[in-house]
Structure 1
Amino acid sequence: MKLSDQLQLVPVQAKDQSILFQLMETIYKSAYSDFWEDGGDWYLNLIYNPIQVEKELARSRSHYFFVVWNDQQIGILKYDYPFSPREVAIPNAMKLHRLYLHEDSHGKGVAKQLLHHCESEAKKANLDFIWLEAMSKKPQAKRFYEKIGFETIFQYRLSFDLLLPQYREIEIMRKRIS
């Protein structure tokens, strides 16, 4: 799926699990390794193992892509709909489940284009909201989402044992689709 001359989305398939894992090992650890006692290994193995990837791909509400920019795989985008969080009701909504980009692509408008794509898909599906979860200790990500119209509506603490206590606060943010 071509979003611009430089940016495209390529669907993740089950056979791509090892490529997905390697990509996320680089991207996720670069951004979050200091949040974890083990550098993030437990989390990566939980989320990107072959069984979990197949399970996520099998869900009809899941849309899972590699982000390709200038012919380079630079990240992933995953959104699910319809989907409401357990912690607070957000009916008729899309969850922006995963948006991870290599740090070399930050500040180049890639994330903004991806969010525009998500909003277009949400409008086509007649959804009312997009929501996401953002780590409270990642202020640059929160600022980005706030700048494009997301607001924090709920906070809670993650219970992952290997996640360092000072990094467990997470925020649910949402944006109304107009």
Structure 2
Amino acid sequence: MNQNIPSIHPCTLTDLPTLQAISRETFADTFGAANTPEDLAKYLDRAYAPAKLHHEMTNSDSHFFFLQVGSTVCGYLKVNTGAAQSEPMPADNFEVERIYIRKAYQKHGYGRILIELAEQLARDAHKSRIWLGVWEHNDNARGFYARSGFHQIGEHTFTIGGSRQTDYLLGKDL
């Protein structure tokens, strides 16, 4: 097997420590500079606590997939349907809650691979729209999603400590 060709596989509970580490690393890399160290630490401890991730991983309406190159996990995808979606949405909607790519592996096309997987999963589930939230100041991600055919369908407030931030909700009809 070529060590440079990415592979994708579903995450299992045995992957929880790796999932937690990548979640904390990528979130801090992306949002750390916009938050106080104290607020960021509290958020990371709460959002990516082992018990919380375990609950998310055992929810039948949520699915996690690792993207791996050789033996290195470069990032992951988390998708939700039904009541697992982070916003109230119609039943024919499919949420991409997280595409987290580790900093060293960004700009290699791995985000594209994961968004294409999400779109295929949504089609396989007979959903008519895929959607996600993206921070208003995450220009790289916003540009990526625009190039992928997503457009703004709403917004919501995302709070980290005392900082209230705006996430744009983006959607794409399938």
Q: State the 1:110 CA deviation.
A: 1.0
CA–CA separation in structure 1 for the residues paired with 2:60 and 2:171: 22
User: In the alignment, which of 146, 163, 171 is matched to residue 174 of structure 1?
Assistant: 171
Q: Which moved more, 1:64-73 or 1:129-138?
A: 64-73
Give the 3 Å change call, closer, same or farther, for CA 94–71 of structure 1 in structure 2.
Answer: same
Shift of 1:13: 2.6
Answer whether contact 1:17 1:49 (CA < 8 A) is retained. Answer: no
Aligned length: 169
Displacement of 1:90 in angstroms is 4.3
Do the aligned partners of residues 86 and 98 (structure 1) sit closer, same or farther apart at CA in structure 2, a change above 3 Å counting? closer
Distance in structure 2 (CA, Å) of the matches to 1:70 and 1:90: 39
- How far 1:85 moved relative to its partner? 5.3
Give, in angstroms, the shift of residue 10 of structure 1.
Answer: 2.8
Go from structure 1 to structure 2 and tell me whether the alpha carbon gap of 1:67 and 1:176 turns closer, same or farther (over 3 Å shift).
same
Match of 1:80 in 2: 80
As a proportion of its length, which structure holds more strand? 2
The normalised TM-score by structure 1 is: 0.85
User: Would you say the 8 A contact 2:20–2:50 is kept in 1?
Assistant: no
- What amino acid is aligned across from residue 7 of structure 2 in structure 1? Q
CA contact (8 A) 2:96 2:131 kept: yes
State whether residues 63 and 80 of structure 2, in contact with CA within 8 Å, keep that contact through their aligned partners in structure 1.
yes
**CA, structure 1 residues 46+124, in 2 after alignment: closer, same or farther (shift >3 Å)?**
same
Contact in 2 for aligned 1:90/1:129 (Cα 8 Å): no
SS of residue paired to 1:116 = helix
Name the counterpart of 2:148.
148
Contact 1:119/1:130 (<8 A) preserved: yes
Pairwise CA RMSD of aligned residues? 2.0
My pick for the range that moved more, 12-21 or 43-52, is 12-21
Q: Percent identity?
A: 20
* Structure 1 CA distance for aligned equivalents of residues 42 and 65 of structure 2: 23
Measure the CA separation in 2 of the matches of 1:47 and 1:101.
Answer: 17
Q: 1:100 is matched with which residue?
A: 100
2:122 match: 122
Q: What is the CA deviation profile of residues 45-101 of structure 1, one whole-angstrom value per residue up to 9, with x for unaligned ones? A: 1222121111111111111122212431111211012355536x4441110011110
Contact map agreement 2:24 2:48 (CA 8 A) in 1 = no
> What displacement does 1:111 show?
0.8
Q: 1:159 deviation in Å?
A: 3.3
Tell me, which stretches of 5 or more residues in structure 2 are unaligned?
none
| Alpha-carbon separation, structure 2, partners of 1:71 and 1:17 | 16
SS at match of 1:73: strand
Structure 1 unaligned spans of 5+: none
Bigger mean CA deviation after superposition, 136-145 or 23-32: 23-32
CA contact (8 A) 1:93 1:129 kept: yes
**Change in 2 beyond 3 A, CA 1:90/1:69:** farther
The residue aligned with 1:35 is 34
Residue of structure 2 equivalent to 1:21? 20
